[in-house]
Amino acid sequence: MGRFSKMHGLGNDFVVIDARESAIEMTEARARAIADRHAGIGCDQLILIGEADDADVSMQIFNADGSEVEACGNATRCVPLFVGRDVLIRTKAGLLDAKSVDGGASVDMGAPRFDWDAIPLAYAMDTLSMGASWEDLPAPAAVNVGNPHVVFFVDDLNGVNFDRLGPLIEHDPLFPKRVNVNFAQPVGYSHIRLVVWERGAGLTRACGTGACATAVAAIRRKLMTGPVTVSLPGGDLVIDWAPGGTIRMTGPATHVFDGEADWSRF
């Protein structure tokens, strides 16, 4: 039997496994089975906490479809709550510094990247106002915040068909590693409403890296100044960034329950 914790950040939920206690071989099929909400435990992402030579812990992230990804902001906020102290975390996106605050955590998410081949895109183009769009959406911005994001600023979120446009854009050949799709509606000089179609997970109640990418894109376009409050269906995150610096994300993290499972059954 192996132990796990169920946690969430603004409703973006995780099964968190401490692989420091007992190693577990994680495959795409096993991650997908654990994440299944009908026959498994159920989650948006599966998180493995392990040892690291250059940090307090390491974090591996698997989407509900079993694919491994580089970064997850909401999961990162859960790590200091899971470990019980402030932590430096080794991820595929780099080292992330996570500190506990009342009700959650504040995380230095590192510096965003804007070069077309760092997103990555299939070919060169301006990532602040891309020379590509889909149907009647405006030209988006692209940002890599440890994982790839495309951001559309729209006048009214109620007029966007997320279920149709999300997967269409996620799987477009322009994005060789697929992409997280952010639909953002500015509602003030420091406030954005956001809905995210998450790569490998679909519509989500919250996406921390999506909030970071969207706030950065808004500041780059001079639509607003930081810190920016990003309102997602699950609640609010505060994102602070200045050009040339790193991104600071602050928001809630919640421990729901602990459980045990026989991983050989998955």
Which two tokens mark 133? 């769009």
* Structural tokens at position 9: 């950040």
Token output for 264? 């050989």
Residue 78 known to be catalytic: no
Task: Specify whether 43 is catalytic.
Answer: no
3-state DSSP assignment of residue 219:
helix
Dist CA 163 CA 146 (whole Å):
25
Of 43, 72, 78, 212, which residue is the catalytic one? 72
Q: How many helices (H) and strands (E) does the chain have?
A: 4, 17
Are the C-beta atoms of residues 139 and 133 closer than 8 Å to each other?
yes
SS3 161: coil
The residues pairing with 163 across neighbouring beta strands, listed in sequence order, are: none
Q: Concatenated DSSP letters for 43-67?
A: -SEEEEEE--SSSSEEEEEEETTS-
43, 78, 207, 212: the active-site residue:
207
| Residues forming the active site | 72, 207
